[in-house]
Amino acid sequence: MTSVQDPTQTSLESAAMDIGVITVRDSDYPPNRRLLEAAEKRGCALGLVDPYRAGPWIFRGRPGMGGALAGSLPRLILPRQGAQIGASSLTVLSQFMAMNVPLVNRVAAIRTAANKFLTLQALAACGLPVPDTVFAHSARLFYAAMEHLNSFPLVVKKLSSRQGKDVFLLENSRDADQFIIGHMETGQGLLLQEFIPPAGRTDLRVLVIGEKIAGAMALVPAEGDFRSNFHVSGRSRAFELSREIEQMALAAARAVGLDIAGVDIIVDSRGGARVIEVNYSPGFRGLEAATGDDMAGRIIDFCLTRARKTDSVF
């Protein structure tokens, strides 16, 4: 019979890793590679942890972790799985919290940020400006939402998407008929959102780390594309934020409950700003390219500071 380690015998001080990054990608994935490089420069032991290889368990009423992490725990966990994170991985993250391993970011905030409509709910509840949006989880409600918004074109998004994928533009009602056939999944739901024309629009990505603005960039849409995502266009430039936009980005991160957040803000041609999305595992390659700053290093520095503060508690 295989013995099960008593979780009381696993200490943070004896951890093999300072920071465990929750990701299904390997070290060739650009953000992971940059985090590894930044950690190495700081003498920090950083490991990539596949959540599907971690095995939470409860033995004699105490939580523990088997699988790839059997016998040692990181001092801190940095979840970076992205918008597609599911119930299984959230369970693993909750287990770390039960074992007093600090998370940057916490489970409740990740759950909110991974769902675009829950994010908008949290933002609106705090009085932050967001696009007019309707959630529809049936064809009937989808058509009702179109009538409610009452203006084409309309933006349609899936609840969880990344890098500009699963974001569509409906030009007219005929487009809607075809779209529903191919994309309306039972129990999933879609967002219908007002369209903000690209002409005269400024699309901003703001990186917030620990209640501070780490950097900001303006994204340039590809020719003929209404989306402004660095992974779509590959184009960005450094941007100096106004005080108003700075405060909006910080408030958005707080509203969702995130320590580290990528806040997407659109400023329309008349100067009106709206928060579009808040990401819990933001990419930073475009921001590093635009600003020349070491965003990976700032993330690692924040995590190490948080780990040291937590160590002092135990």
Fold of 198-279: D-amino Acid Aminotransferase; Chain A, domain 1 (3.30.470)
**Same fold for the pair 7-112+298-313 and 133-194:** no
- Angstrom distance (rounded) from CA 93 to CA 21: 11
Distance (Å, whole) CA 142 – CA 162: 22
CATH of domain 133-194: 3.30.1490.20
Residue-range domain boundaries for the chain: 7-112+298-313, 133-194, 198-279
pLDDT of 225-257, one tens digit each? 555 554 444 478 999 999 999 999 999 999 999
What are 299-309's pLDDT values in tens digits?
A: 999 999 999 98
Supply the pTM of this predicted model. 0.87
Distance CA 220, CA 203 (A): 7
pLDDT block averages, 10 residues each, the chain of length 314: 38 64 96 98 96 94 89 92 90 96 97 96 98 88 84 86 75 80 69 89 95 93 56 71 97 98 95 96 93 97 93 59
pLDDT for 7: 38
Q: What is the architecture of the domain spanning 7-112+298-313?
A: 3-Layer(aba) Sandwich (3.40)
Among residues 251, 254, 215, 255, the alpha carbon closest in space to that of 236 is found at: 215
What is the DSSP code string of the chain?
------GGG--STT-S-SEEEE-SS-TTSHHHHHHHHHHHHTT--EEEE-GGGEEEEEETTEEEEEETTTT---SEEEE---TT--HHHHHHHHHHHHTT--BSS-HHHHHHHTSHHHHHHHHHHTT-----EEEESSHHHHHHHHHHH--SSEEEEESS--TTTTEEEE-SHHHHHHHHHHH--TTT-EEEEE---STT-EEEEEEEETTEEEEEEEE-PPTT-S---HHHH--EEE-PPPHHHHHHHHHHHHHHT-SEEEEEEEE-TTS-EEEEEEESS---HHHHHHH---HHHHHHHHHHHHHHHHHHH-
The residues, ordered by sequence, that sit 6+ positions from 106 with a Cβ below 8 Å of its Cβ are: 97, 257, 259
